[in-house]
Structure 1
Amino acid sequence: MTRAIALHQVSKAYGRAPRAVDNLSLSIAPGEFVVLLGPSGCGKSTVLRMIAGLEEVTEGELLLDGEPANHMPPSERGMAMVFQNFALYPSMTNRANIGFPLKLENPRQDHSERVESTARMLGIESVLDRYPAQLSGGERQRVAMGRAISRRPSAFLMDEPLSNLDAKLRNHLRAEIAQLTAELGVTTVYVTHDQAEAMSLGHRVAVMRGGVLQQVSAPREVYALPENVFVAAFIGTPRINLLRAVVHAPLDGRMSIDLGRQRLPLPEPLSAEHQLLRIQQGRDLIVGLRSEAVRIAPPSHARPGEVALSGVVEHVEYQGHEALVHLNTGSQPAVVPELESARPQQAARRRRRAGGGGTGVGVLERLRERATGHVGGPVVSLDEPVSGRQDPHSPDRPGLMAGDLVVRTGPDMRLRRGGQVPLLVDLEHLYVFDQQGRRICPLPRDVPGLDV
């Protein structure tokens, strides 16, 4: 038996602190694999624990197979959890660990056959009579999964089960989990902060930020049609290039997007999506360009829909099969606060305390920080850039600053640091977001090939 899970406007609060989960609605079909994805502290594990019954629902309703389950004890939900830290009993053999939940359910029955079949499924039959301390990390996680599988639960709840493993083993077990859950056909809710796990495992990915559900879509749609800047920045490696921009739409001239030192002219006749940008004339916007939407090539090699740009090479990351080129185009990056390092923010906070002390200005700054950190706060920062950023085309700049654009290229391309290179931007893969981070362009539509 597999289970349908539905959360309707569910919230979780701890005392007077901001809600850990705020008004979340999510329906999971029987047998579906849904991944809860987001940065640390976004509330994804809290959602999982509410489904399991380990946390009470503060507001809203949890339904299991259409029946209210807010107050149903965990033991009656028929679910099995797999934790990050394995949670095995060190004094028991692995055989006993796998069979322990079965023994609790029916102490007098012989469960050896089910334990053996579960071990064969996971390829750990040879280590059943060892103890957890005698196993590798991957083997211990298989034993933990075996303990969950042996119960034949109606749903698997997995809380970052691979985060303690090394990269190679993590990739291997990820493929095994995908195959195993597909064979069993059991509803699975999987929590992770690793987008690679989310994109490769889930039938759907639910992206969370600050306790609020941002988007629930198939992996390809989350990547191709992000609802807002946060989703666009969180999904994709390397991270999408986000640049501050202004639309220029003169009545008697060509429409363009101003990136600061350079402009992206929009091809004519304008597409329906680019026509919509006309009403954004003069407003601050955010332009998103994924690294594969820009290529290093001269204007003479432009394909239909590509426009020219240029950049100064700041750094080249050699990846083996490709290279990531960091370029400075003179644009101002838009910052997604939750995805940036906390160190600059802490330094800024110390400066405010030193300068403001207990004055009213310091109080206002602290209130502003608290407001912007709330779950409904902005997803991007359009504040002025840090002083000291220089024009990359200025001849008297003393040194190269951080790049604002990352481009994928072949591993054999030879580039000189500080050299200026021509770029071609594919406007068909151009994202435009408003000041609140909501996507304006491309328009909502079906992504070709999503059902393949």
Structure 2
Amino acid sequence: MSRAITLHEVSKYYPKQPTPAVDRFSLEIAPGEFLVLLGPSGCGKSTVLRMIAGLEDITTGELLLDGEYGNDLAPGDRKMAMVFQNFALYPSMTSRENIGFPLRFEMPGTEPGPRVDETARILGIEEILDRYPGQLSGGERQRVAMGRAISRHPSVFLMDEPLSNLDAKLRAHLRAEIARLTRGMGVTTVYVTHDQAEAMSLGDRVAVMRSGVLQQIGTPRDVYHLPENVFVAAFVGTPRINLLQATVIAPLSGGMWIDFGRQRLGLPEPLGYDHQMLRIQQGRTIIVGLRSEAVRIARASQAHPGEVAISGIVEHVEYLGHESLVHLNTGSRPAIVPELEAPRPAPAKPGPRRNGTGSGGLGKLAQKAARRLQATVTDREGGSHGAHSAHGGPPKPPQTPSAVMDRPAAAPETDTGDLVVRTGPDIRVRRGDHVPLLVDLAHLYVFDSNGHRICPLPREQPHLE
């Protein structure tokens, strides 16, 4: 029978460490639920799992199992089974003996054979029961490790990155098996991983952690489409979300633009409720998030309702067979998310390079493309959308919702690009090409300078007519 698990304000401190490994972690797991703890290495997710299992003492807070206080319950009395990353099989025992080993203590005096055979049938490993771990592949060893957990008929499965040592193809196969087994058995499962693809495909809910603190918990769909902060947005999704620094320009005369530095994204009027709330960010630094599927390569004349145009220079194309990832430079400044990437190094001083450019510049092809971009910004839609007023104010409001408010572009400062766009495999562009882009405002995320999401607003917010 599956169990309910409740963690209330749980913290874990280790000696000689000034900060907690887990800090005031609260979570409720329903009976039979498959919950995934997701986060980067060292964020405390395995520590949470070990506290649930009783392998780590809880410093402060409460663990409730089916509503009963469980902090002091011995690991063997919690009726939980754990699957580890490194298989943890006894090398001198056959698969049959490894699977039946825990039954010696839980069912003394009872023949474990029938339970072992039943488990082997569930996992499809009947043919390897008499082999030793050294004679098995990685996938077979992990199946045996899972069999040892299943044979106990536990109330809770605890899985600590069980697939991280396997190759990609085998991981995908075993991922499907784990989902089938746990749901078929109806056992509460807590699964730890740093692989967001595993989390999204397995979990009924996903709990994202960072530095010992719970950042967000929700269904995979909600975590992906409504990230609570910029860390969750950046950690969940492949390729990673595009994060760009920007400011909001909202003059009293009307209209609103998101200024990326060298280009401006004009928001169509009348403004939706989410976009109206951006007025309070006037003049402040914000972070704009765009998923790779929220931008497409197309001209402004091909825009759908709710799309607005910008443009960029192709830096690199990743051809993946079923799709391509196009890396573009729009002249924007990428936002850095701590714990996911190191700060960008300061640009090196210009110097000789084999291709004839300085270390801080672009090749001749990209420089020419930048000049073409600068020359064509005002020509693309009749010459008016990129022009500033004579008094230096924001440009006049666009005539159509799909119009773009561009600034004249200059040569990008890095060779890496700042925007990744997912396209079909038939889109053919090359490095140095200037391409028009359409941004779907329905998939535009805005975060404040502290990383908290301010657009879109929470679902309970009413929308203005």
TM-score normalised according to structure 1 size: 0.87
C-alpha separation in 2, matches of 1:404 and 1:422: 15
Give secondary structure in 2 for the equivalent of 1:103.
Answer: helix
Structure 1 segments of 4 or more deviating over 3 A? Answer: 387-400
Aligned to 2:424: 410
- Relative to structure 1, is the Cα distance of residues 389 and 218 closer, same or farther in structure 2, using a 3 angstrom cutoff? farther
**1:104 CA drift (Å):** 1.7
- Relative to structure 1, is the Cα distance of residues 29 and 96 closer, same or farther in structure 2, using a 3 angstrom cutoff? same
Say whether 1:161 aligns with 2:162: yes
Give secondary structure in 2 for the equivalent of 1:337.
Answer: coil
Whichever residue aligns with residue 4 of structure 1, its letter is A
Give secondary structure in 1 for the equivalent of 2:179.
Answer: helix
Say whether 1:40 aligns with 2:41: yes
Aligned to 2:14: 14
**1:410 CA drift (Å):** 1.1
Task: Describe the superposition over 1:132-170 as per-residue Cα deviations: whole angstroms up to 9, x where unpaired.
Answer: 111111111000000000000110000000000000000
**1:331 CA drift (Å):** 0.3
Aligned to 2:3: 3
Whichever residue aligns with residue 213 of structure 1, its letter is L
CA RMSD of aligned residues (A): 1.9
C-alpha separation in 2, matches of 1:302 and 1:272: 22
Q: Is the 8 A contact 1:2 1:155 kept in 2?
A: yes
Q: Compare CA radii of gyration and give the structure with the larger one.
A: 2
**Equivalent residues in 2 for 1:44-83 (5 A)?**
44-83=45-84
C-alpha separation in 2, matches of 1:205 and 1:51: 17
Aligned to 2:246: 245
Segments of structure 1 that go 5 or more residues without pairing to the other structure are: 349-386, 448-452
Whichever residue aligns with residue 454 of structure 2, its letter is I
C-alpha separation in 1, matches of 2:361 and 2:233: 25
Task: Describe the superposition over 1:391-426 as per-residue Cα deviations: whole angstroms up to 9, x where unpaired.
Answer: 977549599621000001111111121111000000
Give secondary structure in 2 for the equivalent of 1:14.
Answer: coil
Give secondary structure in 2 for the equivalent of 1:48.
Answer: helix
**1:109 CA drift (Å):** 1.0
**1:50 CA drift (Å):** 0.2
- Relative to structure 1, is the Cα distance of residues 388 and 434 closer, same or farther in structure 2, using a 3 angstrom cutoff? farther
Q: Is the 8 A contact 1:82 1:159 kept in 2?
A: yes
Which moves more between the two structures, 290-299 or 437-446?
Answer: 437-446
C-alpha separation in 2, matches of 1:129 and 1:401: 56
**1:111 CA drift (Å):** 1.3
Aligned to 2:441: 427
**1:253 CA drift (Å):** 3.5
Aligned to 2:109: 108
Whichever residue aligns with residue 64 of structure 2, its letter is L
Give secondary structure in 1 for the equivalent of 2:322.
Answer: coil
Q: Is the 8 A contact 1:314 1:400 kept in 2?
A: no
Q: Is the 8 A contact 2:313 2:329 kept in 1?
A: yes
Q: Is the 8 A contact 1:80 1:156 kept in 2?
A: yes
Figure out how many residues of one structure are paired with residues of the other and give that number. 406
Whichever residue aligns with residue 53 of structure 1, its letter is G
C-alpha separation in 2, matches of 1:258 and 1:321: 34
Q: Is the 8 A contact 1:178 1:201 kept in 2?
A: yes
Aligned to 1:136: 137
Segments of structure 2 that go 5 or more residues without pairing to the other structure are: 347-358, 372-409
**1:254 CA drift (Å):** 1.7
Aligned to 2:384: none
**Equivalent residues in 2 for 1:22-421 (5 A)?**
22-341=23-342, 388=360, 395=371, 401-421=415-435
**1:214 CA drift (Å):** 0.2
Q: Is the 8 A contact 1:7 1:25 kept in 2?
A: yes
Whichever residue aligns with residue 190 of structure 1, its letter is Y
Task: Describe the superposition over 1:314-365 as per-residue Cα deviations: whole angstroms up to 9, x where unpaired.
Answer: 0000010000000000000001111114xx68x89xxxxxxxxxxxxxxxxx
**Which one has a larger percent helix, Structure 1 or Structure 2?**
1
- Relative to structure 1, is the Cα distance of residues 406 and 109 closer, same or farther in structure 2, using a 3 angstrom cutoff? same
Whichever residue aligns with residue 404 of structure 1, its letter is D
**1:107 CA drift (Å):** 3.1
- Relative to structure 1, is the Cα distance of residues 105 and 32 closer, same or farther in structure 2, using a 3 angstrom cutoff? same
Q: Is the 8 A contact 1:157 1:190 kept in 2?
A: yes
Q: Is the 8 A contact 2:361 2:413 kept in 1?
A: no
Q: Is the 8 A contact 2:36 2:203 kept in 1?
A: yes
Which moves more between the two structures, 145-154 or 15-24?
Answer: 15-24
Aligned to 1:358: none
**1:105 CA drift (Å):** 2.0
Q: Is the 8 A contact 1:206 1:216 kept in 2?
A: yes
Whichever residue aligns with residue 62 of structure 1, its letter is L
Give secondary structure in 1 for the equivalent of 2:233.
Answer: helix
Whichever residue aligns with residue 410 of structure 1, its letter is G
Q: Is the 8 A contact 2:318 2:326 kept in 1?
A: yes
C-alpha separation in 2, matches of 1:106 and 1:135: 27
- Relative to structure 1, is the Cα distance of residues 398 and 259 closer, same or farther in structure 2, using a 3 angstrom cutoff? closer
Whichever residue aligns with residue 21 of structure 2, its letter is A
Q: Is the 8 A contact 2:329 2:412 kept in 1?
A: no
Aligned to 2:355: none
Whichever residue aligns with residue 323 of structure 1, its letter is S
| Identity across matched positions, percent | 74
Give secondary structure in 2 for the equivalent of 1:254.
Answer: coil
Give secondary structure in 2 for the equivalent of 1:288.
Answer: strand
Q: Is the 8 A contact 1:400 1:418 kept in 2?
A: no
C-alpha separation in 2, matches of 1:292 and 1:97: 47
Give secondary structure in 1 for the equivalent of 2:101.
Answer: helix
Whichever residue aligns with residue 263 of structure 1, its letter is R
Aligned to 2:454: 440
**1:444 CA drift (Å):** 1.1
C-alpha separation in 1, matches of 2:206 and 2:454: 22
**1:15 CA drift (Å):** 1.7
